[in-house]
């Protein structure tokens, strides 16, 4: 079994294709909010991932739906998850050397420098019914190898028949749609990253080798916002500068800056988001500009 810690994965070259990030919350797919935060960054993936999820959804039987749990993840969050599980592995197996610990850790959390989630090229996904109730997959999504006795492995041998059938449906549908599974996590699927490339025999990945910064996700959020309000000038979202003929966006924005994250941005075992700041309220900004034009000072 090839793990992300294998040097063969790191050796795969990368040819960036410039594919945009998209927000799955406007895709028509079902999203689970368990890792949602103020930024909504968890819902972003590369467009190629979204397209393949749509293909998979269209191929599922009536009444069965994909349920997306997580897409993009910050590099800081990836580091914290990797470090935390490394400590868990060391405590459970103190006789392992550093290389063995790294390998065992990467069966559950990818080394940060190779993690597909940080590029927007990976998604954690399960199946649900029409009411949003998750189907039996044999383990909880994100169950660790240690706590599940390796039942989280996609091809685990000791699954109950129902869980095996449901996993088989997920695997068949997503694989046919063009996504690649990480075999120690039945829920983890990717497209365009190094693991995808080496799994299907591509000479190079088509994703950036470096993780996307939080600011890149923020730019995509702003781009989506502009598209949503194109052709409109709304009171709280924009104001018209009649003197210059310019439209200036002044809506409160959530800004993800760099890779720093506040301590209170922890959701369960995962860390989400970035440094959060808000643009001043639109109404107060507008009132101040009107006062300035009239020569009034506070």
Task: Verify that 192 and 219 share a domain, yes or no.
Answer: no
pLDDT for 285 equals: 38
* Separation of CA 144 from chain center: 19
Is residue 6 within 8 Å of residue 191, measured between CB atoms? no
Task: Verify that 19 and 141 share a domain, yes or no.
Answer: yes
Distance CA 138, CA 185 (A): 12
What does pLDDT average to over the chain?
76
Give this prediction's pTM.
0.71
Task: Verify that 185 and 44 share a domain, yes or no.
Answer: yes
Task: Verify that 185 and 261 share a domain, yes or no.
Answer: no
Domain containing 32 equals 7-205
pLDDT for 89 equals: 94
pLDDT for 17 equals: 79
End-of-domain residue from the set 160, 187, 205 = 205
Distance CA 293, CA 274 (A): 37
pLDDT surpassing 80 at residue 278? no
What is the CATH classification number for the domain harbouring 45? 3.30.1380.10
User: 152: left (phi > 0), else alpha (psi -120 to 50), else beta?
Assistant: alpha
Task: Verify that 178 and 244 share a domain, yes or no.
Answer: no
Task: Verify that 197 and 228 share a domain, yes or no.
Answer: no
Per the structure, how many domains does the chain have? 2
Task: Verify that 233 and 105 share a domain, yes or no.
Answer: no
**Each residue of 168-227: pLDDT tens digit?**
999 999 999 999 999 999 999 999 999 999 999 888 888 655 555 555 555 555 554 444
End-of-domain residue from the set 205, 229, 260 = 205
pLDDT for 268 equals: 32
Asked which of 54-68, 153-167, 264-278 is least confident by mean pLDDT, the reply is 264-278
Q: Which residue shows structure tokens 């490339």?
A: 197
Distance CA 237, CA 160 (A): 53
pLDDT for 244 equals: 33
Average pLDDT over residues 112-134: 95
pLDDT greater at residue 227 or residue 250: 227
Q: How confident is the model at residue 65 (pLDDT cuts 50, 70, 90)?
A: very high
Average pLDDT over residues 103-120: 92
**Each residue of 77-92: pLDDT tens digit?**
999 999 999 999 999 9
Task: Verify that 84 and 108 share a domain, yes or no.
Answer: yes
Task: Verify that 123 and 192 share a domain, yes or no.
Answer: yes
Cα–Cα nearest to 200, from 188, 211, 191: 191
pLDDT greater at residue 123 or residue 259: 123
Task: Verify that 150 and 72 share a domain, yes or no.
Answer: yes
**Each residue of 264-274: pLDDT tens digit?**
332 333 323 32
Task: Verify that 200 and 284 share a domain, yes or no.
Answer: no
pLDDT for 287 equals: 44
Is residue 151 within 8 Å of residue 159, measured between CB atoms? yes
pLDDT surpassing 60 at residue 280? no
**Positive/negative CA dihedral, 269, 267, 24, 255:** negative
End-of-domain residue from the set 181, 205, 229 = 205
Task: Verify that 43 and 89 share a domain, yes or no.
Answer: yes
């Amino acid at each position: 079994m090839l793990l992300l810690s294998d040097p063969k994965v790191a050796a795969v070259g990368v040819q960036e294709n410039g594919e945009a990030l998209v927000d799955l919350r406007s895709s028509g797919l079902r999203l689970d909010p368990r890792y949602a935060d103020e930024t909504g960054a968890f819902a972003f993936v590369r467009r190629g991932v979204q397209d393949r999820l749509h293909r998979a959804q269209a191929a599922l039987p009536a009444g069965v739906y994909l349920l997306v749990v997580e897409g993009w993840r910050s590099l800081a969050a990836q580091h914290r998850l990797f470090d935390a599980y490394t400590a868990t592995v060391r405590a459970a197996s103190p006789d392992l050397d550093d290389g063995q610990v790294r390998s065992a850790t990467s069966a559950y959390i990818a080394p940060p420098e190779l993690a597909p989630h940080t590029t927007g090229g990976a998604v954690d996904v399960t199946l649900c019914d029409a009411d949003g109730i998750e189907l039996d997959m044999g383990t909880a999504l994100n169950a660790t190898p240690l706590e599940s006795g390796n039942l989280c492995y996609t091809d685990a041998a000791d699954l109950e028949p129902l869980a095996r059938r449901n996993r088989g449906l997920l695997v068949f549908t997503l694989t046919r749609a063009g996504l690649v599974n990480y075999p120690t996590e039945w829920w983890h699927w990717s497209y365009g990253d190094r693991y995808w490339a080496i799994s299907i025999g591509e000479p190079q990945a088509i994703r950036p080798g470096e993780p996307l910064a939080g600011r890149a996700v923020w730019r995509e959020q702003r781009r989506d916002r502009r598209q949503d309000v194109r052709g409109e000038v709304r009171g709280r979202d924009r104001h018209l500068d009649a003197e210059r003929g310019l439209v200036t966006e002044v809506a409160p924005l959530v800004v993800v800056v760099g890779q720093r994250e506040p301590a209170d941005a922890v959701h369960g075992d995962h860390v989400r988001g970035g440094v959060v700041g808000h643009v001043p309220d639109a109404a107060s900004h507008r009132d101040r500009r009107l006062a300035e034009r009239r020569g009034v000072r506070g």
